[in-house]
Amino acid sequence: MIKSLHKRESELADSKRQLEILSNGIFQQGELPTFKEKISESDQFPLKARKLEILQINVGYMCNQVCEHCHVDAGPDRKEIMTRETMKQCLEVIRNTGAHTLDLTGGAPEMNPDFRWFVDEASKAGIKDFIVRSNLTIIRANKKYHDLPKFFKSHNVHVVSSMPHWTKGKTDKQRGDGVFDKSIQALKDLNAIGYGIPDSDLRLDLVYNPSGAFLPGNQASLEKDFKKALMDDFGIQFHNLFALTNLPISRFLDYLIASENYEDYMYNLVEAFNPAAVRNVMCTNTISVSWDGYLYDCDFNQMLNLPVNSKSKHISEFNEELLEGRKIMISQHCYGCTAGAGSSCQGSVA
C-alpha cells in the first residue's frame, strides 16, 4: 500500500512537471500563443463537449513493449491494472450510455487478466463498434495469446494496431528489436482468418506515429504507401491507416527535451495549427476512463492528471447529462491534435 502511494505521488509530481514545461518557457515569455489564446482567435474558446459517442477505457498500463513515443509510459513493469470491480462499473455505464463505440486501450489491453471476461460481457451490451487497440506483438508474445485473432473474430472486434513503418529498421528503432517481425506475423495471422480483407466486416486498421520530432505526412498518401509495401513484400492487407501526431507529453516530451528539439517541435505544432481541426477533436465526443475509473477528456489529459471539469469525475458516479456540454480541459499539448489535418485516435479529423 505504501509503495502504491509513493508511486502515485511520483506520477502526480511528473504530471505537474510536464504541465510546468508546457506552460512556461516559450509560452510564458509570449514567443508563442497559448492554446487558449489560439482557439480564442477563431472564437472556439471555451472548447465544449458535445454528445457522447465514444467511451475509451484504459484497462491498464502493463505492456510487453517499451516504445520511445508512448504517451502512457507503458511497459512490463507497470502494475496499474483495472480491477473487475471497476470493469463492472464500466459495464453499467456501457449498458446505459448513448455512446455507440467502445474503445479498449492500454498498455497492451490483452495483458489485463480480466480482459477476455470484460470483452465477453461488454459485447453483450449492444455496442455498434467495439475497438481493441493492439500492439500486434502481444499476439506472438507467448502461447496464451496466440488465439487472440480467433477471440477477436468471435466478438467481431474492430482491431486497431500500431505499425510505425513498413520497414524493419524504422519499426525496430522506435519499438525495439524484433517488433517488426512479430508484427508482420501477427498481421498474417489476422489476415488468415479474414481481418483486413477488402469487403470483410472484420475491421483491421493500422496506426502510424512519426519516429522523430516531426509531424506526420498526408494520411491518404501514407495509407497508399503502407498498403503497397505490405502487400508487395508480405502479402498483407488492412483497411485504413490512421496517422497520429506525437503529443509533447510523457516519454516523447522527455525525448524532445533530451534531443533539444522541444522548442522547434512546439513552433512546428503552432505554425501548423488548423482551426478547422478544432471542431472535431476527439475530446468533444469522447470520455476517457483511466485504469482506476477516473474520467478524463482524453487519454493525453489522463497522463497529465487533468480530470474532467464536471461533478461526475469517476465511473462509479457517471452522469452523461452532467458531462455533456462541459468545458474541455486544455493545455499546450492540445496543439498536437489540431496541427495540419488534425489528429485523434481515429486519425485525421479535418
Strand partners for 62: 75
What is the CA 146 to chain-centroid distance, rounded?
A: 24
Q: Is 286 helix (H, G, I), strand (E, B) or coil?
A: strand
Please tell me the distance from the alpha carbon of residue 56 to that of residue 54, in angstroms, as a whole number.
6
> For residue 3, what pLDDT is reported?
44
Please tell me the distance from the alpha carbon of residue 215 to that of residue 248, in angstroms, as a whole number.
12
* Fold of the CATH domain 35-337: TIM Barrel (3.20.20)
| CB neighbour list of residue 321: distance below 8 Å, 6 or more residues apart | none
Tell me: the pLDDT tens digits for 164-210? 899 999 888 888 889 999 999 999 999 999 999 999 999 999 999 89
Tell me: the pLDDT tens digits for 225-257? 999 999 999 999 999 999 999 999 999 999 999
Checking if the pLDDT of 2 tops 50, the result is no
**Cα–Cα nearest to 152, from 221, 228, 205, 99:** 205
The secondary structure of 288-317 as a DSSP string is EE-TTSBEESSHHHHHTT-B-SSS--BGGG
For residue 179, the tally of other CB atoms under 10 A from its CB is: 23
> For residue 117, what pLDDT is reported?
97
Q: Are 129 and 158 in contact (CB under 8 A)?
A: yes
The strands making up 241-243's β-sheet, listed across from edge to edge, are 241-243, 204-208, 158-162, 129-134, 101-105, 54-58, 286-289, 295-296
Checking if the pLDDT of 6 tops 80, the result is no
pLDDT band at 5 (very low <50, low <70, confident <90, very high): very low
Tell me: the pLDDT tens digits for 45-81? 999 999 999 999 999 999 998 887 788 889 999 999 9
Tell me: the pLDDT tens digits for 80-95? 999 999 999 999 999 9
φ, ψ (nearest 5 deg) of residue 295: -105, 140
How far, CA to CA in Å, does 310 sit from each of 57, 183, 211? 18, 40, 36
> For residue 174, what pLDDT is reported?
81
Please tell me the distance from the alpha carbon of residue 275 to that of residue 350, in angstroms, as a whole number.
9
Tell me: the pLDDT tens digits for 210-220? 988 999 999 99
Q: Are 336 and 328 in contact (CB under 8 A)?
A: no
The radius of gyration of the chain's CA atoms, rounded to the nearest angstrom, is 19
Please tell me the distance from the alpha carbon of residue 89 to that of residue 91, in angstroms, as a whole number.
5
Checking if the pLDDT of 150 tops 70, the result is yes
Tell me: the pLDDT tens digits for 20-49? 999 888 998 889 999 999 999 999 999 999
Please tell me the distance from the alpha carbon of residue 193 to that of residue 296, in angstroms, as a whole number.
36
